[in-house]
Amino acid sequence: MRLKEKYNKEIIPALKKEFKYANLFDVPKLTKAVVNVGVGRFTKDKAYIENVCETLAKITGQQPILNPARKSISAFKIREGMIVGVSVTLRGQRMYDFIEKLVAVSLPRIRDFRGLNSKLVDRSGNLSIGIKESSCFPEIRSDEIEKSHGLEICLATTAKTREEGLALFKLMGFPFKTE
């Protein structure tokens, strides 16, 4: 069953029952998924930035945007306008397809993966996952990678509390550690 169908048929009734929502619109839902890569010390290396853009485009199926520095910081040797990050914002069906692939394929492929820590869900019910190597995604072949890089995935929800967000992510199938 697709994740969007599962959300509509199983997750909404379960959350309504658990938190006793009076209205359907009170039930938390996903609004967007943001995938970020910080360029770090490779700000002047155009080939590295292009490599990051290619891998993000393969992973998400969407063209990434380049994020320039807003102001100069001499201690980090950053000038205003230099590229300091690359990001993709996913919404709608692409977001659900990406999350489905993340839960079913990519997270289990991470070396020594024992589950996500429940502390990754913040007090607003949003989930932020840091991945050290992008090679856990099936689109990225290890022999094609020149320089490995990590990425951060932020999943924004309409949940009002941490408990609501955590319940939503557990029902969606995210593997959390049992403490």
Contact 56, 35 (CB under 8 A): yes
* Average pLDDT score, the chain: 87
- Residue 177 clears pLDDT 90, i.e. is over it: no
The answer to whether residue 163 scores a pLDDT higher than 70 is yes
**Where residue 32 falls among pLDDT bands split at 50, 70, 90?**
very high
Comparing CA positions, the residue from 24, 153, 22 lying closest to residue 11 is: 24
Q: For 49-73, write each residue's pLDDT tens digit.
A: 888 888 889 889 899 999 888 888 8
- What's the whole-model pTM score? 0.86
Query: What residue ranges define each of the domains in the chain, with the CATH number in brackets?
Result: 29-172 (3.30.1440.10)
DSSP 8-class letter at 89: E
The first and second tokens of residue 135, run together, are 């090679």
Residue 93 phi/psi, 5-degree rounding, is: -65, -35
pLDDT for res 1: 65
* Alpha helical stretches, state H, the chain: 3-6, 12-19, 46-60, 92-101, 162-172
Contact 11, 168 (CB under 8 A): yes
Q: How many CA atoms lie within 13 A of 101 on its CB side?
A: 16
How far is 58 from 50, CA to CA, in rounded Å?
12
The predicted pLDDT at position 109 comes to: 84
